[in-house]
Amino acid sequence: MSLTLSLILPKEQAVLTSVLAAYFEETASKARIDPGSRAKQMLHRKDVTAFWIVNDEKRIGFALVLNLPDDRRELSEFSIFTPHRRLGHGQEAARILLQEFPGYWRMGISAQSQSALAFWGTCLSILPGVIDLREGAPFTEFQSKSYSFQIADPASGQTTGP
């Protein structure tokens, strides 16, 4: 498996819009999120980093990371496309993404997606470098819970940030 992350460029907004439409239908259909507006917003905000998850030069998913003050991050959106699920790609993509940015992370978990709840509950408990994992209240009415945790800096074994 040769999984990598590739920046999503603003010129790819139409492609991101199409995958966000399917993603929001799966994870937040009652939230009435406009995929086109969301794609445009995510690709033009200075505090967001958008990634394609790529396997053997093929896009198999995406991740949107909100860069918060004090070197903190929120995993805003994360998805592996349906045909590529249950093959280890999600866990590997999460490992690569999180270890790229050591420090404090948080994420909300969709109340509509039982698979997201199961995936992140397992994934965060077994990924190397995850420390101080905590469950918390959801950030929005469309979430069931949140997670906060730190990622150890692989170079030092220590966390960065607060």
End-to-end CA distance of the chain: 34
DSSP summary character for residue 100: H
Strands 130-136 and 3-7: unpaired
125 confidence band (pLDDT: 50, 70, 90): very high
Strands 103-110 and 72-80: parallel
Tell me how far apart the alpha carbons of residues 74 and 72 are, in angstroms, rounded to a whole number. 7
Q: What is the pLDDT of residues 38-70, one digit of tens each?
A: 999 999 999 999 999 999 999 999 999 999 998
Reference 59, options 107, 106, 15, 116; nearest CA is: 15
Domain ranges of the chain: 3-151
- Provide the strand spans (E) within 84-142: 103-110, 130-136
Q: What is the largest CA-CA distance in the chain?
A: 43
In terms of CATH, what superfamily is 3-151? Gcn5-related N-acetyltransferase (GNAT) (3.40.630.30)
